[in-house]
A = this chain, B = another copy of it.
Amino acid sequence: MGVIVQKYGGSSVADVARIQAVAARIAARVAGGDGVAVVVSAMGDTTDELIALAQRVHPDPAARELDLLMSTGETVASVLLALALQSRGVRAQALTGAQAGIYTCGTHRRAAIVAVDARRVRDLLDAGEVAIVTGFQGVRGAGPDSEITTLGRGGSDTSAVALAVALAADWCEIYTDVDGIYTADPRVVPQARRLRRIDYTAMLELAQQGARVMHPRSVELGSVYGLPIVVRSSFGGGPGTVIAAAGADLPPALAYRGDPMELDNKISGVAHDRDVARITVTGVPQANRRLHRLFTPLAAAGINVDAIAYALDSEGHAADCTFTVAESDLGRALQVVGATAVELGAREVRTRRDVGKVSLIGLGVQDTPGLAAQAFAVLAAAGIPIEMVTTSQIRISCIVPETRLEEAARLLHQAFGLGAADELPTVAPVAPAEVAAWVG
């Protein structure tokens, strides 16, 4: 018997009809003989509604109480899904985070999973039952001293991957509202195509650089334990995208016949991110030119700094420092930077919101020196100014004017042959029963 963990997000269980559809999908998989544990998010916008309700009685609700409140959303969804399975004659049990043995640290609203005691889930699977586990939530301690915690952003994906690791599952399937990981955002780059497979590291970079499908946190957990993750649509029946280590052998059901070895492609995809703002601090006097004095307070405030450019002025005395932050962090960042700039005797602080970041991502970046130059040339030929550049081992990112961002993404996507040239045959949607036969 194979063991699979499936995770369904809030939009997949937004109403009773969708819950029934998810139950049908799970039932088909169980009929195929696999042991199935399911992790489920709260229905639709439940979590936001619960937070809004809390804010009606307290302007800034305590994290501990919010966690307890939010945890009810996943509990309701798990119970309804378990009942929907039972009404189809499939034995199923809904489990809270505590019952599924998902132990966390005690930090509320962004708890980390410290251990998963999957005995109860395993026992259910061994008995031929489906375990429906509440995502996003865990518990610290047991009995009267226990505290219910939530995992913060990407929490349910992380619950699913952690549970899959603890169960030594064959893989973890993440069902969402898109049918896989794409070479670029299809809304912006029409030629974007679904990747059949992507390496954990490239997926992490894609996620961090603007692809919203998977949260980096769960990808990282999968990477550490070498657990394959499959991203699929909960509405269609396509094969989705497998996230796994480059070159690793996959379970036969995931290794599609005729795989074109696309990992040979040096670039996996193009990501773009509008949530970027630029801050420039000019004229920092020579005596105070210590970068850490600028960035330590930002770090203390929990604000991530991305691209950094630093240069002496033409006289070689005062320094200008330009860096980017998430546009959504700009207000807080300016409070911190403003205070520091005064302290350092800087001349002025300037900001720009109208920039964006386009990134080329792929394992090939690290051993292909010409790639960065090629990317710059593509943008220059189109007259798109590159304002800043940052790179990692497998990524080249350019800060460009926001008005040219989508054009830049399309141009890079085309120039690096991510689209039509090696386009893969499209997989037609299939019914759940067929999926079970084909995947399981």
Q: Taking beta carbons and an 8 Å cutoff, which residues of A are in contact with B?
A: 16, 19-20, 23, 50, 53-54, 56-59, 61-62, 64-66, 68-69, 71-72, 75-76, 78-80, 82-84, 86-87, 93-94, 96, 98-101, 117, 119-120, 142-148
Contacts and interface: CB of A to CB of B under 8 A. Distances in A.
A284 B146 CA distance: 60
A82 B82 CA distance: 31
Contacts of A145: 99, 120
Nearest to A101: B144
Contacts of A54: 79-80, 83
A98 B146 contact: yes
Given A144-B117, A144-B119, A146-B99, A68 B62 contact: no
A82 B64 CA distance: 11
A260 to B, nearest CB: 42
19 contacts: A54-B80, A57-B87, A58-B83, A58-B84, A58-B86, A61-B86, A62-B83, A65-B79, A65-B82, A68-B75, A68-B79, A68-B94, A68-B96, A71-B75, A99-B147, A100-B144, A119-B144, A120-B144, A120-B145
Contact of A83 (B65, B75, B144): B65
A148 B59 contact: no
A56 B16 contact: yes
A142 B139 CA distance: 12
A53 B82 CA distance: 13
A54 B98 CA distance: 22
Name the residue among A16, A96, A143 with the largest chain B CB count within 10 angstroms. Answer: A143
B64 A144 contact: no
A84 B57 contact: yes
Given A16-B57, A57-B80, A96-B148, 15 more contacts: A16-B56, A19-B57, A54-B79, A59-B87, A62-B86, A64-B93, A65-B82, A65-B86, A68-B78, A68-B94, A99-B144, A100-B144, A117-B144, A142-B146, A143-B143
Contacts of A65: 79, 82-83, 86, 93-94
Given A16-B56, A84-B57, A101-B143, A69 B62 contact: no
Given A57-B16, A57-B20, A57-B80, A144 B98 contact: yes
Contacts of A143: 98, 101, 117, 142-143
Nearest to A83: B58
A64 B132 CA distance: 13
Contacts of A144: 98-101, 117, 119-120
